[in-house]
Amino acid sequence: MKTQNVTIEKNMTSYNLVLGSYIDQHYGHDKFFFVWSRNGMTGEMVSWAKGANLHIVSLCYKTANINRADMTGIITGLRDMFPGFIGEVFIPKGLEAYQ
């Protein structure tokens, strides 16, 4: 996959993301990542192995500035746009409306 700019509109928010892929240098696995450039210059990066099952709570613990509602919107939006990149998404109770 070529690195690209993607916009996801969910939860009355427009998420401007940089999305890309790379090969893990230690294990040789395909990995994907996104960077949410909230201020246009820098932002939080999240990466995962191709087809991995993702837990919203776990991803939020690993980032400092993405809350659970935003993470749910971003991850489910990417899953819908790019089938096969993300396996199952585990969403905490009460956040189902944000997917």
> Containing domain of residue 52, as a range?
4-98
pLDDT of residue 27: 86
Rounded to two decimals, the pTM is: 0.90
pLDDT of residue 69: 92
Report the domain count for the chain.
1
pLDDT of residue 90: 94
Nearest CA-CA partner of 34 in 95, 57, 70? 70
Cβ atoms of 42 and 68 within 8 Å: the answer is: no
- What is the block-wise mean pLDDT of the chain (99 residues), using blocks of 10 residues? 88 90 90 86 89 94 90 94 93 83
